[in-house]
Amino acid sequence: MGRGALSRGGARHRLAALGLLTLAADLVPTTAPAQATPVDSGRMVRVLAEDHRLLVGRLLAPWPGDGDLRLCRDVTVACGSAQDPSRIRLDPADIRTVQVARGSQWRRGLAIGAGVGLLAGVALAVLIDNTECDDCARQPAGWPAVPLGMVSFALIGAGVGAAHPRWIDVWSARPQ
């Protein structure tokens, strides 16, 4: 075997390891929020108030701006008038954390679904291989259920994860 074959195989392993590390980095939540990252109006935000209320809505004005955080809790309609009950105005002193929705959780759902599918596929394969049969030569092997379970559950997990936004910390009253 030539030296070139070994180096190409090593490069593939390094590339696979780099891909796994990248996926793992996407799955690990960030812990240190940036202080005073500007957020444009119209973005979906989640606010934890000092009184432990969790408010979700769309920003009506860029923040942090000239003062209070203003958001519309009813995201299906535009909050037209200032007297609209779904409009909320919060003083920055009453806010613990502001998070903005960026992307979705599809990668996390994919990874969790693949793990569950692996376990389900292995359990099904063991069950199929350990059943008693009259003519075992004609019985199919159960191990093709493993990749089938992984792929099907990964797709279901990605679909579920895509329906959930990924929240990124953009402001915190308490630096971490």
Q: For the segment 80-135, what is each residue's pLDDT rounded down to a tens digit? A: 666 667 777 888 788 888 888 888 999 999 999 999 999 999 988 888 777 766 66
Strand partners, 47: 55, 98
Euclidean distance between CA atoms 97 and 166, whole angstroms: 15
Q: For the segment 134-173, what is each residue's pLDDT rounded down to a tens digit? A: 666 666 677 788 888 899 999 999 999 999 998 888 877 7
DSSP assignment letter at 175? -
Q: For the segment 72-84, what is each residue's pLDDT rounded down to a tens digit? A: 877 666 666 666 6
Q: For the segment 6-59, what is each residue's pLDDT rounded down to a tens digit? A: 444 555 555 555 555 555 555 555 444 445 567 777 788 888 888 888 888 888
Residue 170 · residue 30 · CB < 8 Å: no
Retrieve residue 50's tokens.
Answer: 């000092």
pLDDT at 115: 94
Give, in order, the Cα–Cα distances in Å from 59 to each of 83, 145, 174: 16, 47, 22
Among residues 155, 40, 50, the alpha carbon closest in space to that of 101 is found at 40
